[in-house]
Amino acid sequence: MKKVLEIQNLTKKFGKLTAVENLSFHVEKGNIYGLLGPNGSGKSTTLGVILNVTNPSSGTWKWFDENPSVESLKRIGAIIERPNFYPYLSAERNLEIVAKIKEVDRSKIDEKLKLVGLLDRKKDKFSTFSLGMKQRLAIAGALLNDPEVLILDEPTNGLDPQGIIQIRELIQRIAATGTTIILASHLLDEVEKVCSHVVILEKGKTLYCGPVDEMVSNHGFLELASDNITLLQQELNNLAYFSHTKEENGLIKAFLNEEVNPKEINKLLFEKGIILHHIAKRKDSLEQQFLQMTKNDRA
Amino acid sequence: MKRLLSIEWSKIFYYKSARVFTILYFTLLILLGVVISFIKPNLNGLEFNLRELGYFNFPYIWQNLTYLFAIGKIFLGVILIMNITNEYTNGTLKQNLIDGLSKNEFLSSKFLTVLVLTLASTAFLFVIALILGLTLSSTEFGFYEGIEYLGAYFIKLLFFFTFCTFLGVLLRKSVFALLGFFVWWIVEGIISVVEVLIKLNITDTGKNPADITLISNYLPLGSSSSLIPLTKFDIAGILMNKSAFVYSPVDKSYLFTCILYTIVFALLSKWILKKRDL
C-alpha cells in the first residue's frame, strides 16, 4: 500500500506540558482513518503540526513520501476545529480566495458548492450561515483542489442531528471516490460508522494504529436466551468454545475463544434438549474496545 | 507576486469598512488640499493668507504639505491593523496556511499591501502638491526644488505602515494593537522628556532647549516625526516682504534610521510569525 502520510517520533511541548509525545503512525492510501482519543489527547496538535501551523519540538513527517512543503499542502484539503472564513465575504468570494491560494481554477467553486448543497446560497455572506452550512462550506473549500487526502477535525462538533447526518453522508460520498480521509473525533460511534482504520491516541501517545476489526484480538461473543437460563449457562460453560459466560438482563453472554458459527452452537444445545429463543453473534462496539484498550494501558 | 496581490485584493476590496475608510482617506486628502488653498485664518484681527505667506511656494510647499498630509496616515494604519488582526480573530490566517499559503507568502502579501498603499498615498500627494504649487506658487523655483520631501514622505509612510503591521502581527487583537501603539508613543515621549531634563541639568550651557540634539529623536516614532518636521518659520521674512518659510533639506540621519526601523520591524514580524504556533 502506498503511504500518504508517515509521522515519525513527533513531539510537541507547550512549555511544561507535553501535548504529543514521540508519536509515530502512518496512513495508507484509500482508507478512512479515525483519529481517536479523549479531549486533550493531542489530536488537534498533531494535525496542526502536519498542516504547518504548529511548530514541532522534534520529529519528522512526510506527505506522499516527500518532505513537507507548501506544495504538498496543495494536494491536501483540511478543516481544523471550526470553519474559518471571512465573515463579510459571500460563500463564493471566500472560495475564490481558497482557489487562489491553492492555485486551482475558479470553475471548481460552483462544482463543490453544488456537492455540499450550497449553490443557491453562494451570493450570501458567510456570517449569515448556520453552523451546519458553515461546516459544509468548509468542506467545499477543502475539496476545491480535489485533494488526495481530506483531513477533518471534529466535523460534526456542535451540529444538530440533521446536520450531523448531512456531514456523515457527505464524508461517505467523498470516501466512495477513493479519497483518503483522516477524521479526528472523540465521538466513537461516529468513527465506527465511517472509518475502516483507527489511530488511537492517549496523552499524546499512540495506543493502536490499524484496521478497526483487528483492534482487539477477540472473536466477539454470543448472546443467547432460553426458558431455563441456569441450565443454559451450565451447558455453555462445559463447551470449549467459550472462555467465560455471564448473565445480563435475562440474556447469557458467552465470550468466544475461537471463530464459530452460531448454527453449530444451536445444534449442540438442541441435542442437549435446550431450545433457544434467541441467539446472536456480536462484537464489542468500538466504544467498548476503546475503553478496554485505554484501561489496559493504565493498568 | 501577482497571486499574492490578487489574494489581498479579494480580502480587502470587498471588506466594506476597509473600502469606506480608504475612500474617505483619499477624499479627505483632496478636501484638505482644497481647504488650505482657500482659508484665510483670522487671528486677533490679523488675517493670515497662507498663499501670501508663501505656503504654496516651491520649494517650501513640499515640506509644508508632506508635514500636513502625514496626519492622514493614521487612517490607513488603522485599516492595516484591522486587516492583520482580523486574520487572527477570524482564524483565516490558520486556514490560509492549511490551504497552502506559506507564512512567508502570507506576510509578503501584507507587506505588498503596505507598499501599494504607500505608493498610492505618495502619488496622490505628488499630484495634489503639483496642482497647488503650479497654480499658487509665486516663486521662480522649479517644482522639483525640495521634492526630496516626497521621498521622505514615502519612507515615513512605509515605516509607519510596517510598524502598524508589526503591532498587528505581535498583538493579534486590534484593540491591543491600537493600545500598543499608544503605549509605545507615550513611552517614547517620556524618554524624550527625561532626556531633555537630564541634558538641561548636566550641560548648563544656556542653550535653547530646542537646539539640543536628542538621542531619543532616533527612537522609531521619534525619527519618523523628525524626518519631516514643521517648516521653519521666520517672522522677519514677512516683515521684509519675503517668504515666511525657511527651506532646510531632509535630515539624512533620520532618513537612515527610518529605513533601518522599517527593515527591523519587517524582519521582527517575520520572526514572530515563524516562531508562533497558530
String of DSSP letters for A160-187 = -HHHHHHHHHHHHHHHHTT-EEEEEES-
Q: Which residues of A touch B86 (CB under 8 A)?
A: 86
- The predicted structure's pLDDT at residue B212: 67
- Domain spans of chain B? 2-275
- The predicted structure's pLDDT at residue A299: 47
For residues A224 and A199, is the Cβ–Cβ distance under 8 A? no
As for the ipTM of the complex, it is 0.86
d(CA B231, CA A84): 49
- Domain spans of chain A? 3-214, 221-283
- The predicted structure's pLDDT at residue A217: 58
A270 touching B, CB under 8 A?
A: no
- C-alpha distances out from residue B45 to A110, A288, B40, B42, B49, Å: 69, 93, 11, 6, 12
A53 touching B, CB under 8 A?
A: yes
- C-alpha distances out from residue A52 to A24, A139, A214, B4, B72, Å: 17, 19, 32, 19, 38
Topology of domain A221-283 in CATH is Alpha-Beta Plaits (3.30.70)
- The predicted structure's pLDDT at residue A222: 85
Q: Which residues of B touch A103 (CB under 8 A)?
A: 3, 100
Superfamily of chain region A3-214: P-loop containing nucleotide triphosphate hydrolases (3.40.50.300)
Kindly report whether the global pTM for this prediction surpasses the value 0.80.
yes
Residue of B nearest to A138 (CA): B95
CATH topology match: A3-214 vs A221-283: no
- The predicted structure's pLDDT at residue B272: 96
Residue of A nearest to B13 (CA): A89
pLDDT, tens digit only, all 299 positions of chain A: 688 999 999 999 998 888 898 888 889 888 889 988 877 788 889 999 999 999 999 999 999 999 988 889 999 999 887 899 999 999 999 999 999 999 999 999 999 999 999 999 999 999 999 998 999 999 999 999 999 999 999 888 888 888 888 888 888 888 888 899 999 887 777 777 788 888 888 888 888 888 877 776 567 788 888 888 888 888 888 888 888 888 888 888 888 888 888 888 888 888 888 888 888 888 777 777 777 777 665 54
Q: Which residues of A touch B90 (CB under 8 A)?
A: 84-87
Regions of chain B short of the pLDDT cut 70: 41-48, 203-212, 238-242
Among candidates A165, A172, A149, A156, which has minimal Cα distance to A68? A149
